Structure 1
Amino acid sequence: MIDFLRGTVAHLENEYVVLDVQGVGYRVFCPNPFAIAKTEGSVTVYIHHHVREDAILLFGFATREEQKLFRKLIDVSGIGPKVALGVLAGGTPDQVVSAIYQENLTFLTKLPGIGKKTAQRMVLDLKDKLDGLGNVTIASGLFAVPEPVQGDGSAWSEAREGLQALGYTDAELDHVWQKIKEDTAFGETVDVLMKRALKQLYAG
């Protein structure tokens, strides 16, 4: 099984990157391909090697933590690889793990592909299996949960820097922010904002 790949991004799509590893191109599906592609030069992508009867697929992540959480998620009944990718695209590992510990169904059901029943199964199946995942500490029986990234100007500032590194101009980014800011909610991550902005930029 493939555990990680190290190479350069040869091609980029909305759902995957093609990673050139010593002349071999690997198609790797990612929660946010644009975050991986913005790294210049060689990049390390942590892999989940998924084998089905009709396909062999590679799912890739920027961190070990994402890789581990993805594997936990696909063990939950009703969550396949596509939905698990959507969860990681919609929230950081810290946010997802915190929501599961807190049984925060409101947050979980806002993640792509997660309905109320699936969110309840996530809490039931994973609450006692996430040790070492997410920056969540427990003191005096209470959960100390990290503050989520604000979906406001501060998050957009970081996302904007990443988009500028991809070659987009200030005028283009000002225009796209006007389009997406009204739908930007509390708790959305920088990666989510980048992905939404890039979809708008591609659409023109």
Structure 2
Amino acid sequence: MIAYIQGVLTTIDSNSIVVEANGVGYHIACGNPFAFQADINQSIRIHTYHYVREDVQMLYGFKTTEQRSLFAKLLNVTGIGPKGALAILASTSVGDFVSAIEREDDAFLTKFPGVGKKTARQMILDLKGKLLEWLPVENDDSTLFYEQSAPDCNKQVEEALAALKALGYSDRELKSVRTKLLKEETTSIDELVRKGLAFMMQK
């Protein structure tokens, strides 16, 4: 798989960009090509997904690895193809999409082109609980709040995360650890903090 291409952005049109690297021009389909407008004629790194089927090969490009990973997961949802996945990523942020999946917000999901109620329910069925590391984090002093599907269960985890944040860990680090802590059976905040520290040391 081609993880990324680094080169000079030479062309932008309504559906794609061209990046020249080592004398080769790579045609890369994007959900919102004009998001790269500020980089025209400059060296950029674009994260790519190499889509291969019997009758087609395409490169799809993204600004972040999170967008690329979500694109890959969307392709595994019945009823979602590359065009549909790109349309979703062009219309919303990764965090907002994941929040909608976790709260089972059909109204939000059916706003995307080509997504009806059946496809929205399929996305929820296939993706809920599998994208928690990308949930957006809101800061209110020292307390972290997340979209919650089980508030009573998550309260102790949130308090443990707040304690870890006070120790200097970043929101990005805490998001990845949160997923693991939610799987723990203990409800002791002290034990959750100890486990969180252990998970941090494993990275």
TM-score class, shorter = 0.5 to 0.7
**Structure 2 counterpart of 1:26:** 26
Paired AA for residue 141 in structure 1: A
Q: Does 1:84 align with 2:85?
A: yes
Work out whether 1:45 is the aligned partner of 2:46. Answer: yes
Q: Is the 8 A contact 1:29 1:59 kept in 2?
A: yes
Runs ≥4 residues deviating over 4 A = none
- Tell me the alpha carbon deviations over residues 172-195 of structure 1, each in whole angstroms, 9 at most, x when there is no partner: xxxxxxxxxxxxxxxxxxxxxxxx
Residue 120 of structure 1, CA deviation: 0.5
Alpha-carbon distance in structure 1 between the residues aligned to 2:15 and 2:34: 9
* Corresponding position of 1:4: 4
Q: What SS does structure 2 have at the residue aligned with 1:67?
A: helix
**Once the 2 structures are TM-superposed, how far is the Cα of residue 39 of structure 1 from its aligned partner?**
2.3
1:170 maps to none
1:44-65 C-alpha deviation (Å, 9 max, x unpaired): 1111111011111000100011
Q: SS of 1:99's equivalent?
A: helix
SS in 2 for 1:60: strand
Aligned length: 143
Give % identity: 44
**1:22-76 CA distances to partner (integer Å, 9 max, x unpaired)?**
2110110111111123225211111111101111100010001101110111110
CA distance in 2, matches of 1:130, 1:28: 26
- Does the Cα contact within 8 Å between 1:17 and 1:37 map onto a contact in 2? no
What is the CA-CA distance between 1:140 and the residue it aligns to? 8.7
Q: 1:140 to 1:86 in 2, by over 3 A?
A: closer
Equivalents in 2 of 1:84, 1:6: separation in Å?
A: 23
CA drift at 1:138: 5.0
How far 1:134 moved relative to its partner? 3.5
Q: Is contact 2:109–2:115 with CA below 8 Å preserved after alignment?
A: yes
Based on CA coordinates, which of the two structures has the bigger radius of gyration? Answer: 2
Alignment partner, residue 120 of structure 1: 121
Q: Deviations over 1:84-121 (max 9, x none)?
A: 00000111111111110110110100012211100000
Task: Please tell me whether residue 75 in structure 1 is matched to residue 76 in structure 2.
Answer: yes
Amino acid across the alignment from 1:34: F
Report SS of the residue matched to 1:28: strand
1:134/1:27 CA distance change after superposition, 3 Å = farther
Task: Give 5+ residue unaligned stretches, structure 1.
Answer: 144-204
Cα displacement (A) at 1:139: 5.9
Report what 2:14 is aligned to: 14
Give TM-score scaled by structure 1 length: 0.66
Distance, in Å, in 1 between the alignment partners of 2:91 and 2:135 is 15
Root-mean-square deviation (CA, aligned residues, Å) is 1.7
- 1:103 partner amino acid: E
The question of whether the paired residues in 1 share the 8 Å contact of 2:103 and 2:147 is answered with: no
Map 1:98-177 onto structure 2 (within 5 A). 98-135=99-136, 137=146, 141-142=150-151
